[in-house]
Amino acid sequence: MRSSNERFQCAEAIVELKGELVYKRRIEKRYRVREIDERIRKERTKSEAKIISEARRKGVPTPIIVDVEEYELVMERVDGNLAKEVIDEDVSERIGEFVGILHKNGIIHGDLTTSNIMVGKDNRIYFIDFGLSFIESSTEARGVDVHVFFQSLKGTHESHEQLKESFITGYKRTFSDASQVLKRAEEIERRGRYVER
Ligand SMILES: Nc1ncnc2c1ncn2[C@@H]1O[C@H](COP(=O)(O)OP(=O)(O)O)[C@@H](O)[C@H]1O
Ligand SMILES: [Mg+2]
């Protein structure tokens, strides 16, 4: 049986899951001047569609984009669970492999948490929510992506240190600059701890 209809509202968008499809509509921000708000929403909608398709072409599973309107993306619905709910060492290692492929190809996810990755009923890993993605090949941008992922692991019940190690194994397998990025991710974590005090 197909999952039921659901609706999510976040700061940027309304996401509606209806049957086989997902409608992600960027909502008006009243604090922005109207012309600027419209331009930003159009640009982000187009850019998200482009990067989702680009990632897929490079071999990273993402939902198929069915339609792109001015402010709305229509995409295939992934039948499965959020990584957050089902992550184990095998899943984390495969996530690492795909993040390595994204980074190798100059794609930064921009919000790489276990709530933006799904594990399908087909047991494939799907990356969703490219709303904050961008094209960049700097160690810093890659390091932030990895750091954000590691932070998101801390909320899971499995030992997050183990999950982190599995991710690293996968990430190194597909991405030759992995060590440099992992070092930067550690630095970012230290910086963060320092700032929080
Ligand atoms: N293609 C999809 N298939 C299944 N569920 C999805 C899909 N896209 C989004 N969702 C669900 O909707 C939630 C919100 O979508 P997301 O793109 O992450 O937007 P945001 O985090 O900006 O609200 C996700 O966490 C996920 O539960
Ligand atoms: Mg999200």
Domain count, the chain: 2
pLDDT at 192: 83
Contacts of 193 (CB under 8 A, 6+ apart): none
User: Does residue 152 lie in a domain region?
Assistant: yes
Same domain as 191, residue 106: yes
Residue type, 10: C
* 129: CATH: 1.10.510.10
User: Does residue 97 lie in a domain region?
Assistant: yes
pLDDT at 4: 87
Ligand at minimal distance from the CA of 20 is: 1
Alpha carbon distance 65, 77 (integer Å)? 10
pLDDT at 197: 47
Residue 75 alpha carbon, nearest atom of ligand 1:
1
Looking at 31, 49, 76, which one is the last position of a domain?
A: 76
Same domain as 192, residue 127: yes
User: Does residue 1 lie in a domain region?
Assistant: no
Same domain as 84, residue 72: no
Same domain as 39, residue 100: no
Count of CB atoms situated within 10 Å of the CB of 162: 13
* 33: CATH: 3.30.200.20
Same domain as 119, residue 66: no
Whole-angstrom CA distances from 78 to 41, 54, 81, 120 are 24, 18, 8, 6
Same domain as 133, residue 52: no
pLDDT at 1: 52
Q: Give the pTM.
A: 0.94
The region that residue 127 occupies, defined by phi over 0 for left and psi between -120 and 50 for alpha, beta otherwise, is beta
Same domain as 71, residue 84: no
Ligand at minimal distance from the CA of 128 is: 1
**90 flagged as catalytic:** no
Looking at 76, 95, 127, which one is the last position of a domain?
A: 76
pLDDT at 74: 98
Same domain as 153, residue 131: yes
First CA to last CA distance, the chain: 50
Distance from the CA of 176 to the center of ligand 2, in angstroms? 28
Distance from the CA of 40 to the center of ligand 2, in angstroms? 18
pLDDT at 157: 72
Domain residues for the domain of 124 are 80-196
pLDDT at 11: 84
From 37, 88, 111, 177, the catalytic residue: 111
Same domain as 186, residue 101: yes
Same domain as 38, residue 60: yes
pLDDT per residue as tens digits for the range 123-136: 999 999 999 999 99
Contacts of 47 (CB under 8 A, 6+ apart): 133, 134
Sequential pLDDT tens for the chain (197 residues): 567 899 999 888 999 999 999 999 999 999 999 999 999 999 999 999 999 999 999 999 999 999 999 999 999 999 999 999 999 999 999 999 999 999 999 999 999 999 999 999 999 999 999 999 999 999 999 999 999 999 999 977 779 999 999 999 999 999 999 999 999 999 999 988 766 54
Same domain as 105, residue 67: no
pLDDT per residue as tens digits for the range 134-145: 999 999 999 999
Same domain as 158, residue 182: yes
User: Does residue 107 lie in a domain region?
Assistant: yes
User: Does residue 68 lie in a domain region?
Assistant: yes
